[in-house]
Amino acid sequence: MTDLQPILKKYPGATRDALIPILQEVQEAQGYLSRDCVIAIGQHLGLPASKVYGVATFYNQFRFQPLGRYNIQVCRGTACHVKGSEAVFNSVRKQLGIEEGDTDSDGLFTVQKVACLGCCTLAPAVQIDETTYGHVRTDTVSDMITDFLANEANRVPRTRKEQNDGEAVGEVRIGLGSCCVAGGSAKIRDALEESLETLKCRVDVKPVGCVGMCHQTPLVEVLIRRPDEQKQQITAKTAFYIPKSRPMKPERLSGGIFVPKDYYGVLKAL
């Protein structure tokens, strides 16, 4: 159990009015409210443990079991609900063998409903930790979980090396709004940066927020620069969007657009 004294010392002589803030801090520190925590909080506030437990169970924000290693959040917003998120939620529980509570027996997954993931165009949406899946169906739940675990097993931390040799010949702006992420834009960014490193191509890759084109996710904007012979500098000449960029191989985006000298000839091939 987490040592509660540093938290409780913030509330000397506290009464029932401080119960919810204390519960929130304890859960943030421990991840959930254990039986011992409930008793200790009651003793500090001069309340029976039953009163503390009664208040905590009234609010959905409090939980009494530890979270699993991975947290599955099934959106129950209006769009997702209409598209069948309740059936998806039940399918996830069935797939993981969860009959009671919300965490599987292995402590690997916790399944929860959330108000909204902000991916209405991809309803029904499910988020596992930081990975979002869109258009989830009851018959694709198993594939979703398998895909997540495979990606986690193969995850290799990687940081891109800064390239300071010369000006960038272009810029790629990748939408990392919730809908784009659900569509796979984060994977596109990682693969693109890896491809650029391999090609030794000096291109700036910049994440951007929502661009208001959720129906075209994942969305990539490419800005091409070419030398201005008179001013002897690189100036922006062309910018264009690549909607629904998932089918395009990142190496085609990097090697096919930025490496050749005839940029405008390459544009016709896209």
The average confidence (pLDDT) of the chain is 78
- Domain made up of 170-267: CATH architecture: 3-Layer(aba) Sandwich (3.40)
Domain 70-153 CATH superfamily: Glutaredoxin (3.40.30.10)
Domain 5-58 CATH superfamily: NADH-quinone oxidoreductase subunit E (1.10.10.1590)
**Residue recorded with tokens 């011992």:** 36
From CA 256, how far away is CA 54, in angstroms rounded?
63
For 196-235, write each residue's pLDDT tens digit: 777 777 778 877 777 677 777 777 777 776 555 444 443 4
For 159-203, write each residue's pLDDT tens digit: 555 555 556 767 788 877 767 776 777 777 777 777 777 777 777
In the chain, CATH 1.10.10.1590 covers: 5-58
For 19-61, write each residue's pLDDT tens digit: 999 999 999 888 889 999 999 999 999 999 999 999 998 887 7
In the chain, CATH 3.40.30.10 covers: 70-153, 170-267
From CA 240, how far away is CA 237, in angstroms rounded?
10
| Closest by CA position to 263, among listed 152, 180, 170 | 170
